[in-house]
């Protein structure tokens, strides 16, 4: 059976921190270990304990990262907390050559850059039911300082504002019920066309 047409296109996954992207991805990769490949990014930050070069990230110094920028190697790149991160065309090609679909976890800034390239991915946004529910989820983690939490919330608000702009994403999935959200996510990842959800109006998300 030949794959669906959209399966051959990279899948750009986005959504604010705490919305459940990692959990959805982990379940998908566990259920279909041979169908998908995760785009490994380059970064200038130091490896954390247990991280392996070429698995979690390609760890490079600033000079090498700048050389890759100059060569036009990156689909998108950005700086966070003093470290640089970038997704290369090469890593997407490597996944495709293995006969797998490449999944990229990209934020709003990166999506703006990707839209100026010839990558032609499917853009999928995972939305919380509301901003306040997302805030509660992040607070329940109890793993961050107040300053770090506020930073994540500001970034989340920016992601939601960007997602509300016309024609940014091809499909939106609201992660209200995880099982239902995963079924939709799995179908999209497998290249099927689905009827996505409607993004909750931002004003409603802030006051609900």
Domain ranges, residue 27 = 11-39+101-190
Give the per-residue pLDDT at 206: 52
The pLDDT assigned to 143 comes to 67
Q: Which is it for strands 11-14 and 41-43: parallel, antiparallel or unpaired?
A: unpaired
Name the 3-class secondary structure at 105.
strand
Number of folded domains in the chain? 1
Out of 62, 112, 141, 193, which one is annotated catalytic? 141
Of 9, 27, 45, 48, the active-site residue reads 48
- pLDDT for 39: 80
Check if 27 is active-site: no
CA separation (Å) from 44 to 68, 81, 84? Answer: 12, 11, 5
**pLDDT-based confidence at residue 144 (cuts at 50, 70, 90):** low
Q: Could you tell me if residue 166 is inside a domain?
A: yes
Q: For the residues 104-119, what does the mean pLDDT come to?
A: 93
Tens digit of pLDDT for each residue in 2-59?
457 688 899 999 999 889 999 999 999 999 999 999 888 999 999 989 999 988 899 9
Three-state DSSP string of 153-173: HHHHHHHHHHHCCCCCCCEEE
Domain membership of residue 80 (yes or no) is no
What is the pTM (predicted TM-score) of this model? 0.86
Decide which of 170 and 140 is more confident: 170
Judge whether 127 lies within some domain.
Answer: yes
Q: Is residue 122 part of a domain?
A: yes
Percent pLDDT > 90 in the chain is 70
CATH number at residue 139: 3.40.50.300
| Model pLDDT for residues 50-102, shown as the tens digit of each residue | 999 988 899 999 999 999 999 999 999 998 878 999 999 999 999 999 999 99
To the query of whether residue 152 is one of the catalytic residues in this protein, the response is: yes
pLDDT given at position 1: 41
Q: Tell whether 29 is covered by a domain.
A: yes
Structure-token match 């079924």, residue found: 183
Beta bridge partners of 86: 42, 77
Answer yes or no: is pLDDT of 204 > 70.
no
112 domain-assigned: yes
Annotation says 9 is catalytic: no
Listed residue (1, 21, 29, 4) closest to 193, CA to CA: 4
Any domain includes 120: yes
* 123 pLDDT above the threshold of 90: yes
Confidence (pLDDT) at 56: 87
């Amino acid at each position: 059976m030949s794959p669906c047409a959209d399966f051959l296109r990279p899948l750009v996954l986005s959504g604010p921190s705490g919305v459940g992207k990692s959990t959805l991805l982990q379940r998908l990769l566990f259920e279909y270990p041979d169908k998908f490949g995760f785009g490994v990014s380059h970064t200038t930050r130091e490896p954390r304990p247990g991280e392996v070069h070429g698995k979690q990230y390609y760890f490079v110094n600033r000079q090498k990262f700048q050389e890759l920028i100059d060569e036009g190697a990156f689909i998108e790149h950005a700086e966070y907390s003093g470290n640089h991160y970038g997704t290369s065309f090469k890593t997407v090609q490597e996944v495709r050559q293995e006969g797998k679909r490449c999944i990229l976890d990209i934020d709003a800034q990166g999506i703006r850059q990707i839209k100026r390239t010839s990558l032609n991915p499917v853009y999928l946004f995972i939305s919380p039911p509301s901003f306040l529910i997302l805030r509660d989820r992040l607070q329940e983690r109890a793993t961050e300082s107040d300053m770090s939490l506020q930073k994540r919330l500001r970034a989340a608000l920016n992601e939601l504002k960007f997602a509300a702009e016309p024609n940014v994403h091809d499909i939106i999935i609201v992660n209200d019920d995880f099982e239902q959200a995963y079924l939709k996510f799995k179908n999209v990842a497998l290249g099927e066309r689905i009827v996505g959800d409607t993004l909750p109006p931002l004003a409603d998300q802030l006051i609900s």
